[in-house]
Amino acid sequence: MTRWLIAMLMLLSAPALAQSPQAMPQWNPAAPYVTAGQDEPGYRAWVGRVSWRPVYVKAFNDYLTTYGVGGVVPTWQLLRTATDWEKCGAEPYEIPPPGAWPNIVAALRYVGAYVIPRIGPVEVVSVYRNERLNSCAGGAPESTHKLLGAVDMVPLRPITREALMTRLCQIHLASGAQFYVGLGLYKGIRFHVDAKKFREWGMAGAQGHFGCTAVLAEGPMPFPIAPPDFAGVPVSPDPSAPRN
């Protein structure tokens, strides 16, 4: 009788175990944008496939560290090309031309000083795209991604699209013009930051208004901004160079 009772209790508890926290879906915001081969194992395979790649990756990482933006995001993520890399017959990762390296510094500095403190850590899903890949992936002809000047990313902390839009708009209106920052919000919670010029796109409020000013005017702003300055952050490699 005792064995029968134990067996029955185990059967009755099975559905509850299936709904345990360990069985619940994990928050994975990069999943819609990162396919197998462009994930971290894919990067390890890619970088080890050719002997000179680790050398150039180290040089790129050292460059970012020298100019104060090393570690803002993992360097290997900055080598991701386009979400449609496979469809376009391209590489999942690419080491950008060294001549373009200065173009990423201002964008990463802004992400590290303004964006991450407000929304938490991010995962980068696309940065440099060569001319052919940018065209195949549907990028604008003048896309800043072609010059290594833009970063597409997703927040790693759970957040709704609406809450993300509110926070990004607050950041952008408070400091974007000062640092020539472009801000874009794509489908879902993927967003874009560059340091080419002050502009925005993809911001649409619940009441159908467009643009950050209109979006924020639709309702209360529960996350007041007190943005940090760039004190102690090194200047870009060539402050006189045009922003790309």
What was the pLDDT predicted at 222? 46
What was the pLDDT predicted at 226? 38
Domain 28-217 bears CATH identifier 3.30.1380.10? yes
Contact 92, 81 (CB under 8 A): yes
Q: Tell me the pLDDT tens digit for each residue of 158-203.
A: 999 999 999 999 999 999 999 999 999 998 999 999 999 999 999 9
Contact 103, 117 (CB under 8 A): no
Decide: helix, strand or coil at residue 240. Answer: coil
182-185 vs 191-194, strand pairing mode: antiparallel
Q: Which two tokens stand for residue 24?
A: 């619940």
CA distance 110 to 175: 9
What was the pLDDT predicted at 220? 52
- The terminus-to-terminus CA distance of the chain in angstroms comes to 77
What was the pLDDT predicted at 242? 32
Question: Would you give the distance in Å from CA 122 to the centre of its chain?
Answer: 5
CA distance 90 to 53: 16
Taking the chain (244 residues) in runs of 10, the rounded mean pLDDT of each run is: 46 43 70 95 97 97 97 97 95 96 97 97 97 92 93 95 93 96 94 96 82 83 40 33 34
The residue extents of the domains of the chain are 28-217
Please name which of 31, 25, 28, 110 lies closest in space to residue 73, comparing C-alpha atoms.
110
Q: Which H or E run contains 199? A: strand 199-201
* pTM more than 0.95: no
Task: List C-alpha distances in Å: 145 to 2, 96, 101, 152, 184.
Answer: 68, 10, 12, 9, 13
